[in-house]
Amino acid sequence: MSRRGIVTHAYRVPDGWERLRRRRLTGEYVAELRDQGYAMIRIRHGFFRVSEAALSWYNSSS
């Protein structure tokens, strides 16, 4: 998994962005979020950099 970081928010329809308990981005966590119906995540890299990524970018074997 090339994009390491801390997951801070997740997105699902119709609720929109939701704040999550901060956890390290792992393959298991991606699968857990996907099972809960989330489609996207916000990832914090360092102090200032934040990115958004679709959970579909991560395969289940990560």
What's the number of CA atoms in the CB half-sphere (13 Å) around residue 12? 10
Tell me the whole-structure pTM to 2 decimals: 0.83
12, 1, 17, 5: which is closest to 45 by C-alpha? 5
pLDDT tens, residue by residue, 24-48: 999 999 999 999 999 999 999 988 9
Lowest mean pLDDT among 15-19, 27-31, 51-55, 57-61: 57-61
* Single-letter residue type at 37: G
